[in-house]
Chains A and B, each alone.
Chain A
């Protein structure tokens, strides 16, 4: 069967499944959480898979937006759409600052610097009174979207989140396929050559960084509305590690990869939480090790490679 047709059917099936989710008994809160993290993973993948930059403290931006939106909506009474917008922009601004410092270094050094900066941001949140510290910023109401749609209804909220997810997904595809995206790809493949061709590589990387952190922030803002709180876990380095895993497991540099990875990891954590206690950490660690050693292309990557091999045969 023609793979293009097969793929299109699969795209539609996937979307239909997501649309039908609340009506076929899938728990909407779980689905929304997974969608938020799918957005996070897509944002991260834009940086890692398509630009080749490993930001090892990406949770800082999710956390920044989560707290910003949480506080604006709860304590300043902002409406949800403005709160989310503000959160996203604040995260992007934070990303700009960190990016300006980190871009000077490459590869591993870049990763280390982003990690250290993220730790700093974490500690700031730990101390700042408005975040509620260890208790978290609680009691964030969902409000009414544009003053009309009551988001307190789980089903309504779900479709809003789904809509945002689809928009982000399409946006990422658009960016990657654009001329800008092509340059990013060139930078990832061979940076010195891109420089020699006259591209201001640092500018391109910085923009990718800001886009990625902004979208990560969007995920954080949405998550705060869905769950009703923002906590320190949103900015903790273990979450930074998890998003790397989601992307790696699903398939770096693919579109569906991060989404799959996010759903798998969130699903796994949900499923295992009450069954195995500390072993969740071990299992995540094992998946990391296995992925790095034997499964570097991730689900989707392996699938694509298999398809390539079949075509050649």
Chain B
């Protein structure tokens, strides 16, 4: 018991030092952008290090400095843990002088960071997370939801698939908040468009085997299998659907699918699948040019989220330049006044509830013979214009926007 406490004091001090960054630095001289995203887990490919790279491209394109103040980036891995994300965000605002926070994938982390940003009164641009609550009942004047949300996915894939003839639906849903929200939002849209929900089944998150759920889906005789899941679960579902011949009798509708998932699975298994996304690299000359710059650095084509990271950063920096300040309220006011015109969106704008309104795209995966080069995977079936893609004012749950 004796000498213990001596070592206790020393090691405590040492360990505490390990955990504490250097004395608080106020970034009077730099514009610091922080991104907290999943860098090592399920979503590392669709955002992750590529997202950081995209932001660096935006910083370079803005000249690297504004009015003499250097632009810096810091990044952290939240490992899909809301507590890690919130703690890191708080620490960055308190002690590192971060001026603007970008939120990567995972709704739980985004919600947590949104609260911290509101408390610290700093701008929080969410690019990767899906939950519409960020501009719904958890909306905040400091949070801007940039790329997509569950409502847009629902309106896109749900509405457009029904219009193309997919009237009867069966849902395979990841049994957690995100999956349930996606299923609810899509069901509402399908029914409003005249479709029917034949049934649904919930599967545990990270299930390794979907065969039994798919069997149930098949016996429902629905036309469309709506996959209200993401990442590895979606990939496994698609694999199994092919294996069990489900794809012969049902069409797959991916409610949250990124180009990296298609790349992982290959066109043979995914051809014909519908999905909604906010951006595709191969749409026009401008997007292609930017995508190739990204490709040089990352050796793969950018996902819509990575493009979103670039766009959010670009618009933020433009607003900083326009106002000549990095004061949060001034910059956000400027951003909300301006239109978003860049490689990510044309004619986009930020609404009172924090939603960045822009076009969404319903896409269908090409068959292997129609694909002209690697990563050329999609046909754009329909463009869902502007306001039509998002929560309408009549339905909003955001108290500030009623």
Contacts and interface: CB of A to CB of B under 8 A. Distances in A.
Contact of B87 (A17, A21, A227, A255): A227
Interface string B16-32: 11111101100000000
Given A134-B176, A135-B82, A231-B83, A27 B19 contact: yes
Nearest to A224: B83
Given A133-B177, A135-B177, A277-B40, A271 B19 contact: yes
Contact of B177 (A134, A234, A303): A134
B15 A260 contact: yes
Contacts of B18: 264, 267-268, 270-271
Contacts of B86: 227-229
Contact of A17 (B7, B9, B138): B9
A260 B11 contact: yes
Nearest to B4: A256
A274 B5 contact: no
A17 B131 CA distance: 43
A227 B88 CA distance: 11
Contacts of A6: 2-3, 6
Interface stretch (B69-77, B153-161, B246-254, B339-347): B69-77
Interface string A202-219: 000000000000000000
B21 A264 contact: no
Chain B, interface SS category:
helix
A133 B107 CA distance: 11
Given A27-B91, A274-B76, A274-B77, A260 B176 contact: no
Chain A, interface SS category:
helix
Contact of B107 (A135, A267, A273): A135
Contact of A267 (B16, B74, B177): B16
Contact of B7 (A271, A278, A300): A300
Contacts of B74: 274
B9 A10 contact: yes
A190 interface: no
A135 B111 contact: yes
A109 B47 CA distance: 42
A198 interface: no
Nearest to A13: B9
B178 interface: yes
B215 interface: no
A304 B8 CA distance: 12
B12 interface: yes
Interface in B36-77: 39-40, 74-77
A136 B138 CA distance: 14
Contacts, number: 180
Contacts of B88: 273-274
Contact of B4 (A13, A21, A255, A278): A255
Which of B16, B39, B91 has the most C-beta atoms of chain A within 10 angstroms of its own C-beta? B16
A266 B7 contact: no
A27 B20 contact: yes
A300 B4 contact: yes
B298 interface: no
A278 B83 CA distance: 17
A106 interface: no
Interface stretch (A29-37, A53-61, A87-95, A156-164): A29-37
Given A229-B82, A229-B83, A126 B9 contact: no
A273 B9 contact: no
Interface residues of A, number: 59
Given A136-B112, A227-B86, A17 B13 contact: yes
Contacts of B4: 7, 10, 254-257, 300, 303-304
Contact of A25 (B3, B23, B77): B23
B87 A26 contact: no
Nearest to B129: A135
A268 B19 CA distance: 7
A274 B106 CA distance: 17
Contacts of A254: 1, 4
A138 interface: yes
A297 to B, nearest CB: 12
A178 interface: no
Contacts of A153: none
B6 A10 contact: yes
A256 B5 contact: yes
A241 interface: no
B329 to A, nearest CB: 22
Contacts of B6: 6-7, 9-10, 13
Nearest to A134: B176
B84 interface: yes
Interface string A27-53: 101110110000000000000000000
Contact of A303 (B7, B79, B81): B7
B5 A11 contact: yes
Interface string A103-129: 000000000000000000001001100
B207 interface: no
Nearest to B23: A25
A136 B20 contact: no
Contacts of A139: 115, 138
B11 A299 contact: yes
B235 to A, nearest CB: 18
Nearest to B41: A278
Interface in B80-128: 81-84, 86-88, 90-91, 94-95, 106-108, 111-112, 115
Given A135-B177, A267-B18, 8 more contacts: A14-B5, A25-B20, A29-B91, A30-B20, A228-B112, A260-B8, A273-B79, A277-B77
29 contacts: A3-B2, A6-B6, A8-B5, A10-B3, A10-B6, A11-B8, A14-B9, A17-B13, A25-B20, A27-B21, A27-B94, A29-B87, A30-B87, A126-B176, A126-B205, A133-B176, A134-B106, A134-B176, A136-B82, A138-B108, A229-B112, A231-B108, A234-B83, A254-B4, A260-B7, A266-B19, A267-B17, A270-B18, A274-B76
For the complex of A and B, 5 pairs with smallest distance between CB atoms: A10-B6, A10-B5, A267-B18, A267-B19, A263-B15
Interface of B: 1-9, 11-13, 15-21, 23-24, 39-40, 74-77, 79, 81-84, 86-88, 90-91, 94-95, 106-108, 111-112, 115, 131, 138, 175-178, 204-205
